[in-house]
Amino acid sequence: MMLEKGLEEKTFYLNLGPQHPSTHGVLRIVLEMDGEFIVTADPVIGYGHRAHEKMAELRTYQQYLPNMGRVDYLHALAYNQCYCMAVEKLAGIVVPERAEFIRVITSELNRISSHLLWFGAYLLDLGAFTPFLYCFDDREQILDLLDRLTGSRLTYCFYRFGGVPVDIDDDFIAGCRAFIQRLRSRWDDYDNLVTKNVIFIHRTRDVGILPPELALKYGVTGPTLRGSGIPYDIRKSEPFSVYPLFDFEIPIGERGDVLDRYLVRLREMEQSLRIIEQALDKLPAGPIMAEKVPKRLKPPEGEVYTAVETARGEFGIYLVSKGDVKPYRVKLRVPCFSNLSVLPELIKDTMVADAVAILGSIDLVIPEIDR
């Protein structure tokens, strides 16, 4: 480009967020722009900081349970499960098998609801309004099922140390089976509406390519990593709960672009349906709560790390106990923090519209990053 004499090429700064519909929370990204193109991107986090880790040190083990539903409100049950697993491991509580099955069924339902919400919200980012209404209709069925069981619709606090407080009944099982049928009949509609849509493909194909090496370097996990072709899933690589009993696949992408991450999530929902189906078939009879879990829990001195696969990646809890009624230290390893840190590399040299497409494809829950 020819420049007039006296003028020099300058970059300017543009704020994406803190409050912007496409950031899904209070995330601010400072973009250094060269015309339409992004030169550097600098995420600014911490607007939703609630000191969840510090709170753990001031509360008893039971009292920290409701916090777990609020770190990541979209897949709250996986966080519940991880915390319960950590404390159970530390205190040596053995969870009955039926309780583990109920945990898996509800957690996988929650995973589907999280992916469905991402599906709708992401397409809103890309400017498609219709799919949002379809997936929220489906998500509503899950929320109704979980509402009937757990009593809440979003920030669940359902698992307890040693099991689950409420058993599932025939209504719930029948409802689950009906939902599996229903969602499977909707895949064609989703494909016709979105996956095959030429506008959608042009917006996403070969946009925001994340090479596997870069993903590993930043500690990216979850569908974002699997979209780059690395089949890393805690449910397979470090099996927890009763996941080894089920037959399911880990969908992976080939190119690592936005479309691959989209497809991985869509296929993951089908795999979750398979897990739920098998769990309902194999559901054993028996107690749902371990015997003799003290009301005032005092795990012995020690430290423990447990990890689960949430809808966004690996969530881990590092818990240190000094033999008190309160944890000495709780460290939460949240997936979105690592997934966000790779974003500046991804949106370099792209346009703002593509940056929004890439940002959405990572599926960030901002309060989880800030926690």
State how far the alpha carbon of 281 is from the alpha carbons of 67, 74, 105, 223, in Å.
Answer: 32, 27, 11, 27
Residue 152 DSSP class: -
Q: Quick check: 198 binds another protein (CB under 8 A)?
A: yes
- Which C-beta is closer to another protein: that of 70 or that of 226? 70
Residue 259's nearest CA partner among 310, 315, 201, 183 is: 201
Among 32, 53, 57, 147, indicate the residue that binds another protein (CB under 8 A).
Answer: 147
Cβ atoms of residues 93 and 161 within 8 Å: yes
Cβ atoms of residues 140 and 75 within 8 Å: no
CB of 252 to another protein, least distance (A): 25
- Which C-beta is closer to another protein: that of 196 or that of 331? 196
Among 40, 53, 59, 344, indicate the residue that binds another protein (CB under 8 A).
Answer: 59
Among 49, 196, 205, 331, indicate the residue that binds another protein (CB under 8 A).
Answer: 196
Q: Quick check: 130 binds another protein (CB under 8 A)?
A: yes
Q: Quick check: 81 binds another protein (CB under 8 A)?
A: no
**DSSP readout, 77-128?**
HHHHHHHHHHHHHHHTPPPPHHHHHHHHHHHHHHHHHHHHHHHHHHHHHTT-
Q: Which ranges of the chain does DSSP label H, i.e. alpha helix? A: 52-57, 65-71, 76-91, 97-125, 130-150, 170-190, 198-204, 212-217, 223-226, 234-237, 258-282, 335-341, 343-346, 352-361, 366-370
- Which C-beta is closer to another protein: that of 32 or that of 57? 57
CB of 202 to another protein, least distance (A): 8
CB of 272 to another protein, least distance (A): 23
Q: Quick check: 254 binds another protein (CB under 8 A)?
A: no
CB of 157 to another protein, least distance (A): 4
User: CA 276, CA 281: separation in Å to the nearest integer?
Assistant: 9
Q: Quick check: 213 binds another protein (CB under 8 A)?
A: no
Q: Build a one-symbol-per-residue string for 164-183: x at contacts with another protein by CB under 8 A, - elsewhere.
A: -xx-----------------
**Which residues of this protein are in contact with another protein, per CB under 8 A?**
59, 62-67, 70, 130, 134, 137, 144, 147-152, 155, 157, 160, 165-166, 189, 192-194, 196-199, 295
